[in-house]
Amino acid sequence: MVDLDRLVPVAQMRGEDAKESSELREMYERARAYLSVHDWCQSIEEAFLGFGVGGVVAIFLFRVKLNTGIEELLWVVEGDLPSAYLVTDQASTADAALRVYADLMEGWTDAVRKGTGLDDVFPVDAPADEEHAALLDSRIKLLRSDIIPAAVHGMP
């Protein structure tokens, strides 16, 4: 279960300065648009920031109403890397969701490099070539070395 008290409602989201606040707002709008294009997403009911570094990466938690009428919580990773949504089953915190995201993206880079096909990996909106695998791999390394450890402590 996700502890909403550890998250910041998007309406209260602030960066360290005006520039970062603006970058986080832009990332939120992209995350919202990313979710909204999926046919199963009827509406977005609520949104929270789990952790963010303006212009680099942010993870948002959305309460969405599915076309079935059921509400569900979904994490969305947005930033200078491929967007992705994640269920909360294996990720009850922002840092856990970022770890799941990193694992999924590494699955894609491994499949691209090994040439094993992309049918069994999370879809990434990028050309499946070595150049893009290397770019994503460098971002995942930064995510694991700097961003996830900072996200463990949550938002200030």
Would you state the pLDDT for residue 2? 87
Closest CA to 78 of 10, 12, 5: 10
Phi, psi for 147 (deg, rounded to 5): -75, -50
Q: Are 3 and 93 in contact (CB under 8 A)?
A: yes
CB 152 within 8 A of CB 95: yes
User: Which residue type is seen at 90?
Assistant: Q
41: which 2 tokens?
A: 């997403």
Q: How far apart are the C-alpha atoms of 156 and 154, rounded to whole Å?
A: 6
Residue pair 49/155 in contact by the 8 Å Cβ criterion: yes
- Domain regions of the chain by residue span: 4-152
Edge-first strand listing for the sheet containing 57-66? 8-9, 41-53, 57-66, 71-79, 84-87
pLDDT computed for residue 153 by the predictor: 78
What pLDDT score was predicted for residue 4? 86
Indicate if the alpha-carbon torsion angle 26, 154, 77, 133 is positive or negative.
Answer: positive
Cα angle, residue 87 at apex, residues 115 and 61 outer, rounded to 5°: 120
The mean pLDDT value of the chain amounts to 93
- Reduce the DSSP state of residue 120 to 3 states and report it: coil
pLDDT, tens digit, 9 for 90 and up, residues 66-119:
999 999 999 999 999 999 999 999 899 999 999 999 999 999 999 999 999 999
